[in-house]
Structure 1
Amino acid sequence: MSSASNPLSIPSLTAPVAMGYVPLGAVFGFLFVQAGGPGWLALASSLLIYAGAAQFMMVPMLAAGLPLSAIVLATLVLNLRHVFYGLSLLNTLPAGRLQRWYCIFALTDETYSVLTALPAKERAPRMALISALNQGWWVIGTALGAVLGAQAQVGLAGLDFVLASLFAVLAVEQWRARRDPLPIWIAAAAYAAGCILMPSQALAIAIALSLVAAALRPARTAPATGAAHD
């Protein structure tokens, strides 16, 4: 059976992202309005910036009156990792120029995880729509949060765990697509080492160790394909 007959539709592929992005986007919109920003500006940032963690970082920076240049620089540094994501997808970007540029703009951690769980030949025709749907979930959440923040005081306890839950689901999907447990064990061991060496910087150390392990890991050879087909 060919891998092209993937039974998962695009909405089902983005459903786990929706369950994380809508509540997290709502938290961002709520916090932005509570910090004194207008709701339309929160919505505009999710449409034109769409940077997730950088948007959360922007809230206290704006509230503190920091210059725009400082916010731009911090956003650039925080999202520099997306350059490496994009490099690994260059050969599977859509052919259309507008679609290519949009997919580059809309690439996030979660979108990258969904795309790389697909067979390479299925990415290009689905990439733009998956990216647009994922951004749509974030924009919807932002709008809901901005409305709530302008009209009511809503408790946000427990919503900080949504992102961790989302990444857990995406990690499982990656494992199901590749059937290679080694990256998960490397990440777990790297984080454990980070907690032992320097607990306050455990995540940064874990990322660095994981990158080193990925660079040193020998490339896997593709399995030989026989002449007969299923």
Structure 2
Amino acid sequence: MPMSSPEPDAAPPLSALALTTPVAMGYIPLGIVFGFLFVQAGGAGWLAILTSIFVYAGASQYMMIPMLAAGLPIGTIALATLVVNLRHVFYGLSLLDRFPARGPLRAYLIFALTDETFSLLTTLPASTPPRRLALVAALNHFWWVLGSSIGALVGAQARLTLAGLDFCLAALFAVLTVEQWRSKQSPAPLWIALGAYAIVTVLAPSHALLLAIALSVLGGVFWQSRANPATEAADD
């Protein structure tokens, strides 16, 4: 009797681990900095760890450190976090059809959708099972919590030099951008995003990110509307 081939759903965990390694190189040092600064600002180490587990908002967690130190109410911090992470609404919609229709797996994938996780998930084939998507998201989450834990538990007792670690995030985005470019057949999305950001940086630098996202969405819709007639004509 011939041996049955393994199901495509059974993706080895090692492949997901290798996929998230570039993210780990950015998340762990940045998480260490967050945990360290959180404790230095007067917060408890365990609270820094819980924040990374249940908030998991990257830049918003850095933003909340001086806000907590200033004694601002939780409602104000929550509103600021919502505004900073509003960009997730724009690109998260493109993955909803790939998530489970309901259940805790769908809820976790929505919760764990960071910029870097989105970049990795969009490089995976459309047939990738939701369980593997969740594994990739969970590993990225783990890297951030691990870094935050190290920073909170060790950073408060050591005198560490943090200069230069801020470059980790820029380097991480550069790596992910290259991976996005290599995985797409057309470079149009990248050029649209770069062009949109260049325009709004000149016209409205204080709102560059939000306006660049909006322009990118409009540019993507326009590009897709131009590509669809050409595809239909080819099919005819």
Question: What TM-score comes out, normalization by structure 1 length?
Answer: 0.86
Contact 2:98–2:130 (Cα < 8 Å) also in 1: yes
Contact 1:14–1:133 (Cα < 8 Å) also in 2: yes
Mean CA deviation greater in 62-71 or 189-198: 189-198
Q: Please list, as runs of the form range in 1=range in 2, the aligned pairs for 1:47-196 lying within 5 A after superposition.
A: 47-94=53-100, 97-196=103-202
- RMSD of Structure 2 on Structure 1 (CA): 2.4
Aligned positions, number: 221
2:178, 2:170 → 1: CA distance? Answer: 13
Instruction: Please state if 1:39 is matched with 2:37.
Output: no
1:129, 1:107 → 2: CA distance? Answer: 12
Unaligned runs of 5+ in 1: 225-230
Cα 1:213–1:132 change in 2 (3 A) is same
Question: What TM-score comes out, normalization by structure 2 length?
Answer: 0.84
Q: Which residue of 2 aligns with 1:206?
A: 212
Following TM superposition, by how much is the alpha carbon of 1:192 offset from its aligned partner in structure 2, in angstroms? Answer: 2.5
Following TM superposition, by how much is the alpha carbon of 1:103 offset from its aligned partner in structure 2, in angstroms? Answer: 1.1
Instruction: Please state if 1:21 is matched with 2:27.
Output: yes
| Aligned residue type for 1:163 | L
Mean CA deviation greater in 193-202 or 84-93: 193-202
1:131, 1:20 → 2: CA distance? Answer: 15
2:206, 2:88 → 1: CA distance? Answer: 24
Mean CA deviation greater in 180-189 or 21-30: 180-189
Q: Which residue of 2 aligns with 1:227?
A: none
Following TM superposition, by how much is the alpha carbon of 1:163 offset from its aligned partner in structure 2, in angstroms? Answer: 0.9
1:127, 1:215 → 2: CA distance? Answer: 26
Following TM superposition, by how much is the alpha carbon of 1:211 offset from its aligned partner in structure 2, in angstroms? Answer: 2.8
**Any idea what SS the aligned residue of 1:218 has?**
helix
**Any idea what SS the aligned residue of 1:37 has?**
coil
1:202, 1:109 → 2: CA distance? Answer: 17
Contact 1:94–1:127 (Cα < 8 Å) also in 2: no
Following TM superposition, by how much is the alpha carbon of 1:16 offset from its aligned partner in structure 2, in angstroms? Answer: 1.0
Q: Which residue of 1 aligns with 2:3?
A: none
| Aligned residue type for 2:124 | L
Cα 1:206–1:81 change in 2 (3 A) is closer
Q: Deviations over 1:186-230 (max 9, x none)?
A: 222223323433445444443333233223223444979xxxxxx
Contact 1:115–1:123 (Cα < 8 Å) also in 2: no
Q: Which residue of 2 aligns with 1:197?
A: 203
| Aligned residue type for 2:68 | L
Cα 1:88–1:218 change in 2 (3 A) is closer
| Aligned residue type for 2:182 | R
Unaligned runs of 5+ in 2: 1-7
Cα 1:92–1:36 change in 2 (3 A) is same
1:28, 1:99 → 2: CA distance? Answer: 27
